[in-house]
Structures are given as structure tokens and as C-alpha cells.
Amino acid sequence: MSTRIISADGVQIATQSFGDPADPPILLIMGAMASMLWWPEELCRKLATGGHHVIRYDNRDTGLSTKYALGEPPYSFDDMAEDALRVLDGHGIAAAHVVAMSLGGMIGQIVALAHPERVLSFTAISTSPIGTDTAHLPQATKAYMDHAEAGGSVDWSDRGQATGFVVKDAGMLAGSAHPFDEAAARTFIESDYDRSGGYLSATNHFMLKGGDARQGRLHEMQAPLLVIHGTDDPIFPVEHGAALAETVPGGKLVRIEGGGHELHRDDWDRIAAAILNHTKS
């Protein structure tokens, strides 16, 4: 594993890569408030062993990348999509297979639509179609929405409160197929918090705007699309993943039975196999 800080256009983006740089690249884009560490290292290594140069990175306001004061962030979804290209440029990569999760999946859709020449294939995990009316689809569960609303009373500058809430959040996001390991989650989240210097700025992700230029354009996506989605996802029920796959010509859907809004250890082999099959097809 190698680490590199990409500096471009006044933004610093921390990246890590796995595997041989001569192999076809995979770029991983993570979701809201989540640093690149939420892409498990073992999963990254499985993809690298499968014949890819794998790159993960900290989105703005997470990990070791540029952070901003809490409030209205001076960037948009479109800027975060451009960050993905900055990472590719910093690594000297013309085009990559893009794998993206949750909010990252929405960013990845923007990248695939705005810069089709940079995306060899696209894999969307636990996300929802952008520029599409999803009001008719099942929405986030009431239990999760009640939990999310409680996040408004958390003092995100307090390590105990912030990590405690995120641990509970991870439990809420877990599916029914596998037991939730609270102790392991707490150890990871506390380490991630300390590496990031706190989670306060990461809450800026919930204030982002942009992506409007892609309204009604998903059917134009040129990159071969694979959607991976847990059937017990409490944020984006699996119907969101199905809608994305159905909207993009040739889109394919892999359902993770009992999976939540998560990358559970017991599903890594299946997730990696699906991605590797997609990137080689």
C-alpha cells in the first residue's frame, strides 16, 4: 500500500493505492462523512489481487483531505466529482473503473455522465439514481430517520458523542444476514475519528448542493453499469438500486440478500467477485 497527497486547484486529497500501477485501475469513491478507510483494506487487496491497481481516497472534509469550517461548504457535488478526476490525474491515470458507494455512488454517476471518457465501467453500491424522481420508491425506514434526526443534537466536536453516534449508526445500517460486531465497529470508528481529527467538518456533506445538470440524463450513461445493493438497506431500499440499473441501458443488479447499507466482511468475497467480473467483461 502506498500513500500520496494530491494537490490541485487549492484542494489537497489524501489517497492510498494497492497493487501494481501497471494493472487496470479501479477508483473507489466513498459516501457521506466517510473517509477512505470505510473501504476495508482487505476488500481493496482482494480487488488488487484480482488484477487491478486500486485507489481509495478521502473526500473533502474527511480523513486527511482538505477540511472547511462547519456551515455552508464552499463546494458542491459537482466539485466532489471533479475531485475524483483530480485523483486520477494525480496518479497519471487517463481512465479507470469507478466503484462508488452511497453518496459516493451519486458522485460517481456525475463523473460517468460528465466525463464518459474517464470511466471504463461503473459499479454503484447502496445508492440511488440521480436526476430521477424517486418519490414513488420506498423511502428510508422510520427507525433510521428517527435515529438520523437524533444526530442533530449530537455535539460533533465531542469525541465520545460523535463516535458513539456513528457506532449506533453503523448498527442501524447493518442488515439481517450477519450479526453486527459493535466492539469491532467501535474500535474502527474511534481510530477513524482520531486519524481524521474529528468528524465535525464531515457533517458539511449533508449541506451539499449541485448535480442539477444531470436531471433526466441517466439513460445517457455510456459506462457499463453494475449495481450492488443489499435487500435490507434502511436508507435506500433495494428498489433504488433496481431503478438505477433499469434506467441505464444494459445495467445489471446484484442483490445482497439480507445486506444492509454496508460492506460487511462476510460479503466481501461476493462483492469483489462481482466487481472483478464486471471490470473484465
Active site amino acids: 102, 233, 261
CA distance 217 to 209: 18
CB 43 within 8 A of CB 263: yes
CB 86 within 8 A of CB 9: yes
DSSP 106-151: HHHHHHHHH-GGGEEEEEEES---TTS--TTS----HHHHHHHHHG
CA distance 31 to 154: 20
CA neighbor of 169 nearest in space, from 124, 102, 105 = 102
- Burial label, 53 (beta-carbon count in 10 A; 0-12, 13-18, 19+): buried
DSSP helix/strand/coil, 229: strand
